Amino acid sequence: MGTVRNAQVWGALALAGLVALAGCSRGGAAESTGDEGDVTIRFAWWGNDERAAVTNAAVDAFEDANPGIVVETEFIDFNSYFDRLATATAGGDAPDVITMGGAYPREYGDRGALLDLAEVSEWLDLTEIDDSALANGYFSDTQYGVPTGANTFGAIINRDLFADAGVPLPDDETWTWEDYADLAVQISEATDEDTYGAQDPTAADMLDVYLYQHTGQGLYTEEGTLAAPAEVIADWFTLTTALRDSGGTPSASLTSELSTQTAPEQSLLGQGRVAMGFGWSNSIGALREASGDDIVPVRVPGDSGEHGSGMWLQASQLYTISSGTEHPAAAARLVDFLVSSTEAADHIGTDRGIPSHPEIREHLASAGLEENTQIEFDFIGRVSEFVDGHFVIGPTGSTETALIVDRLNDAVLFDEITPEQAGEQFVDEVTEAIS
């Protein structure tokens, strides 16, 4: 399918009982005529009360437009969501419409828990959705998911701190990793003691970008095997330890402490204490609001090398349908409404990413966007012009990769293992996790 992209990796999935998924079906799309009558379906997602308010408003609009279909909504915080979903699915009680993300769609789809959306194409029209975004929900020759919206992983810079340090902004069309390291040191030396040029950049998504830039291949192959050479991983850790030693990034203890604080406002970027970092474009608004600084997304260093861009568009989330749903047509109609109707967009806006339906993007833009959202819209538009558009979800077990990276990063930064040892351990441990 072309260039492989690692899915954004989000914690460990509770797999207990998941092997029984294929036997949990309560029905199938072939049994539906589309004339559902009075039916009730369940729709699950993760989030907070604010997301619940806009989602329920969109669901109310759907029910008004589809008399006879009642939607029961349910949500929980992200840390508990996939544990609860695994238990419900293994027990044959999965929601009809399931919000997914990261590598989880493949883990569920390959076990038979998700519906092939071709079976409900009569009620779910995907022809207008961006192909590069749809690729996020396509694997095993099947379209299992529909993107709620897209964002991208890239570099993030605080332009105010660059100005305070008297350091020129980088040209993100040409800058290299050497430029990035030099800038980090310059800014650390020119600012206060508790301000840094860069925060430690190590993350599974960052390794995916770095690997592609250096090898033309991300973390995983299309066949679901690890594609990361140990020596390239070692090169990465050599770069990050040099940044630590030079003062361009914080101490090992501060980096380790911050790794457990995942909210944007808790990061050094969110505190206005670092000039460069990496993250997802949908965090820009939160970072700007938390810091009060002029923070913007840019292309990652080294992104104009021989292998092309290491960046990609990724679905913020995916809507999927349970293979066990008794009402596939009603479930498909709900998904179609959520991603393709202006009525839903008026409530949801960009809560689930920049919409992947061009007409919906135009609708939201025509109504006027606040500054932070406009910055994200513009960057997604820019990235879409140079990324290749292909995306392959990481294989079953790849949800462990983020945990492995965090643990090895701590060990390297505290000088418990060398970069070379970290490269070898990374290959061994991730290979075992996805075997």
pTM over 0.85: no
In a shared domain, residues 341 and 282 = no
Domain that holds residue 209: 152-312+391-434
Task: Note whether 86 and 208 are same-domain residues.
Answer: no
Higher per-residue confidence, 382 vs 335? 335
271 and 304 in a single domain? The answer is yes
The overall average pLDDT reported for the chain is 89
pLDDT-derived band at 71, boundaries 50, 70, 90: very high
**Does 345 map to a domain?**
yes
> Which pLDDT does position 353 carry in this prediction?
87
- Judging by DSSP bridges, how do beta strands 318-321 and 146-147 pair with one another? antiparallel
**What are the structure tokens assigned to 37, written together?**
């009558």
Per residue in 134-149, pLDDT (tens digit) is 888 988 889 999 999 9
Whether the CB-CB separation of 400 and 430 falls below 8 Å is answered with: yes
- Residues above pLDDT 90, as percent of the chain: 69
Read off the pLDDT of each residue in 177-192 and give the average, rounded to a whole number: 97
Which of 100, 99, 26, 34 shows the shortest CA–CA distance to 69? 34
Q: What are phi and psi of 421, to 5 degrees?
A: -65, -40
Total domains in the fold of the chain? 2
Cβ atoms 281, 180 nearer than 8 A = no
Backbone angles phi, psi at 156, to 5 degrees: -135, 130
- Whether the Cβ atoms of residue 432 and residue 406 lie closer than 8 Å to each other: no
378-390 burial string, b = 16+ CB within 10 Å, else e?
ebbeebbeebebb
> Are 140 and 157 members of one domain?
no
pLDDT for res 35: 47
Mean of the pLDDT values across residues 307-334?
A: 94
Residue 348 within any structural domain of the chain:
yes
Owner of token pair 């050094």: 268
> Is position 245 within any domain?
yes
Q: Are 414 and 241 in contact (CB under 8 A)?
A: no
Categorize the per-residue pLDDT at 367 as very low, low, confident or very high, splitting at 50, 70 and 90.
confident
Q: How confident is the model at residue 334 (pLDDT cuts 50, 70, 90)?
A: very high
Cα–Cα distance measured from residue 31 to residue 170, given in angstroms and rounded to the nearest whole number: 58
Statement to judge: residues 158 and 120 lie in one domain:
no
Q: Rounded to whole angstroms, how far apart are CA atoms 113 and 100?
A: 12
The answer as to whether 15 is a domain residue is: no
pLDDT for position 6: 40
**Separation CA 67–CA 55 (nearest Å):** 18
* pLDDT at res. 182: 98
Which stretch of 38-42, 330-334, 357-361 has the lowest confidence by average pLDDT? 357-361
94 and 124 fall within a common domain: yes
pLDDT value, residue 23: 37
For residue 31, with 0-12 CB atoms within 10 Å meaning exposed, 13-18 middle and 19 or more buried, which class applies?
exposed
pLDDT at 136: 87
Residue 392 has a pLDDT of 66
* Structural domain includes residue 33: no
- Are 262 and 408 members of one domain? yes
pLDDT for the residue 110: 87
Q: Phi, psi at residue 146, to the nearest 5°? A: -120, 125
Q: Percent of the chain, pLDDT > 70?
A: 91
Average pLDDT score over residue span 105-109: 89
Residue 59, domain member (yes or no): yes
Q: Are residue 74 and residue 199 in the same domain, yes or no?
A: no
Please report the pLDDT score of residue 313 as a whole number: 84
Residue 73 has which token pair?
A: 């909504």
> Residue 267 maps to which CATH number?
3.40.190.10
Task: Encode pLDDT of 248-296 as tens digits.
Answer: 999 999 999 998 877 888 899 999 999 999 999 989 999 999 999 999 9
> How confident is the model over 372-401, as pLDDT tens digits?
999 998 898 888 888 875 666 788 888 899
For residue 69, list its beta bridge partners: 39
- Nearest CA-CA partner of 267 in 156, 380, 176, 101: 156
What was the pLDDT predicted at 40? 97
Same-domain status, 180 and 274: yes
| Same domain? 198 vs 278 | yes
